[in-house]
Structure 1
Amino acid sequence: MSNEYNRASTTTPAMDEETTVPVNAVFDMARQGDVESLEAWLDQDLSPNMATTQGESLLMIASYHGHKATAHALLARGADPDQRNDSGQSPIAGASFKGDRTMVELLLAHGASVEGAANDGKTALMMAAMFNQVDVLDTLLAHGADPAREDADGMTALSLAKAMGAVDAQRRLDQ
């Protein structure tokens, strides 16, 4: 069986065909916010850092979909708040893109890097700026995000906000 869920993290042993079906269900639990079912698997020693073939961790999936209780359960069981996917994107970048301030705060409270960058050099602050997520922008700035930092193309959060027409983010960063 070949699909995006067949890869586990480097700390999880390779899984056979019989194990793949429950693993697929585990990723669906993270996506749907089924914290009780996911906790049952985690309590049976399932790695909280398991990831898809694209490197999407359970925490990244839960964070992106706004499932705070699920993200908290994963973090409480040792999920890495800075685990990156194959593009170098982190859970905090996904939550910033979505404008989920409380998820960003949860990730920061559990040690997520405010300055971590994807392979293209974009930080969570840049994602928030590009997509006009001002509440997230303010939260990241309050936690020390550097508005002068540049991505791989030499763009700052402000220049990215301008390029994307994110007017509110531009105003906030121009202060």
Structure 2
Amino acid sequence: MKQIIFILILIITTTTSGQSIFEASRSGDLEKVKAIYTLNNNAINTTDSKGFTPLILAVYNNNPKIVAFLLEKESNVNAKDLSGNTALMGVCFKGYTDIAKTLIKNGANVNLQNYNGATALIYASTFGHLEIVKYLLDNNADKNLKDNRGNTALKHAEMQGNTEIAMLLK
């Protein structure tokens, strides 16, 4: 029995060698993520040298299947990187509406602030992602939260000329 387990571990390790869970999450290799998870289910909540979790990397690189798998396996949806950014903040920067909805449906806190005080709503407003702004507001995003410079999401939208978002935030 020990030999069978050893062989299985060897096979799985060989199929995942050369690629970490971070690389697999970034590149969209769901089978590698699953194989690594099978070997070590704690891998889904580990962080790399920048504090990125596999979920943050999957979100930022628009890999919805990996996002779904990681959330199903209870990846920490509110984990922060070394700058205090969450997966939701990353998706609000990038503009992937469907992933933003998935994160929120799986418990992402819409009002967390990074170490500069920015929120997901501030990112979505700054980068002009109207549908995400609407969804955040529908899910209790606090439009009055200010970043470390005293700016709200409205102020960021106005500074970037995102008039439709600014109107929504007034």
Give the TM-score band, short-chain normalised. Answer: 0.7 to 0.9
Larger radius of gyration: 2
**What is the match of residue 74 of structure 1?**
70
**TM superposition shift of 1:22:** 4.1
Instruction: Return the TM-score normalized by structure 2.
Output: 0.85
Q: 1:106 aligns with which of 79, 88, 102?
A: 102
Task: Report the Cα offset of residue 36 of structure 1.
Answer: 1.5
Aligned to 1:32: 27
Please point out which of 104, 108, 115 is paired with 2:111.
115
Give the TM-score, by structure 1 length.
Answer: 0.83
Partner Cα separation in structure 2 for residue 42 and residue 34 of structure 1: 12
Q: Number of paired residues?
A: 154
Equivalent residue for 1:155, pick from 137, 151, 158: 151
Hey, what does 2:89 align to over in structure 1?
A: 93
The answer to whether the 8 Å contact 1:99/1:128 transfers is yes
Distance (Å, rounded) in 2 between the aligned partners of 1:120 and 1:85: 13
Aligned residue number for residue 11 of structure 2? none
Q: Matched residues, percent identical?
A: 27
Structure 2 Cα separation of the partners of residues 119 and 39 of structure 1: 32
Aligned match of 1:16: none
How far has the Cα of 1:54 moved from its partner?
0.7
Q: Name the amino acid aligned to 1:31.
A: R
Where in structure 2 are there 5+ consecutive unaligned residues? 1-15
Matches of 2:70 and 2:61, distance apart in 1: 14
Which residue of structure 2 aligns with residue 144 of structure 1? Answer: 140
2:78/2:86 contact within 8 Å kept: yes
How far residue 23 of structure 1 moved from its aligned partner, in angstroms, is 7.2
| Counterparts of 2:168 and 2:97, CA distance in 1 | 16
Gaps of 5+ in 1: 1-20
User: Is 1:171 paired with 2:167?
Assistant: yes
